[in-house]
Amino acid sequence: RIQDQYQILEILGQGTFGIVEKAMNKKTNQLVAIKTLKSTSKTFRGISEVGLREISMLKSLDHENIIKLIQVFHQDAKLSMVIELCETNLFRYLHSKQIKEEESKSITVQILKAMDHCHDRRIIHRDLSIGNILLTDKRTKVKVGDFGLSRSFNQVNNKMTQEIVTIYYRAPEIIMKQQQYDEKVDTWSIGCIWAEMLLKKPLFEGQGEVDQLAKIYQIMGQGEYHLDISGQSGTTSISCVGEGSFKTLMGQYLSAQGVKLMGKMLELDPDKR
């Protein structure tokens, strides 16, 4: 039983998914994080599908910039994952100091390395945000966490679900409900995370999907756009004008080379991203 092996020290966070607690291994004194998932309607033999997916993905991944799964417990109809403990996440870190270009590049490169490892194994994360980028080793080392919404893209023609990724980090092809997309959606999210590190706020801060898409095209686009978003209640058509303000905005924080690289990560066309 989990309580026989670990002593709970404090609550690190809780939300709709469940609870994360700091704990200590009673035998080794190793400090860990324990993530206990709430029961949901989506279960397999009584176990959370999100939890099963995260466990499966973490077991198949082994990279210095991806959170390590140490142990799994299933008791009292709850699924708990023992994972390595990190000091903080990127959201809290960027609001505690001003991150400059070099540090933002170091963090971004580490996220890219983690995703390269995933993509080589045909895994898309699909839920990258500043909240699930964890930091350790005096906040210099990145650990990507929260693989509960990740999935394999082995079958190219598989229809993918759209209700993933916090809206500020969601690629335009997902917002427009394209049923097939690939690992480029992670690249988009990383570009958004990089920009937010420097701006201290999301680059595209829309209120809902329509506004989010309009803001993306206003900042990244040039000229007039007529876009369709398919939904359960039909198709919503929007028109917007691209102001091309991205280079001017990010040029205040990045070198020309940095702006160019970020711009490539935020290409509207995933085939060019």
Could you list the active site residues?
A: 127
**35 annotated ligand binder:** yes
Of these ranges, 11-15, 17-21, 246-250, the one predicted with the greatest mean pLDDT is 246-250
Tell me the per-residue pLDDT of 190-203, one tens digit each, with 9 for 90 and over.
999 999 999 999 99
Domain end (from 51, 84, 117): 84
Q: How many domains does the chain have?
A: 2
Q: Are residues 126 and 261 in the same domain?
A: yes
Q: Are residues 170 and 252 in the same domain?
A: yes
Tell me the per-residue pLDDT of 233-258, one tens digit each, with 9 for 90 and over.
667 777 777 888 999 999 999 999 99
Backbone angles phi, psi at 160, to 5 degrees: -100, 150
* Alpha carbons within 13 A on the beta-carbon side of 171: 31
* Alpha carbons within 13 A on the beta-carbon side of 87: 10
Domain end (from 65, 84, 103): 84
Q: Are residues 100 and 228 in the same domain?
A: yes
Tell me the per-residue pLDDT of 49-68, one tens digit each, with 9 for 90 and over.
788 889 999 999 999 999 99
Q: Are residues 67 and 143 in the same domain?
A: no
Contacts of 25 (CB under 8 A, 6+ apart): 5, 6, 31, 32
Question: What's the CATH number where 266 sits?
Answer: 1.10.510.10
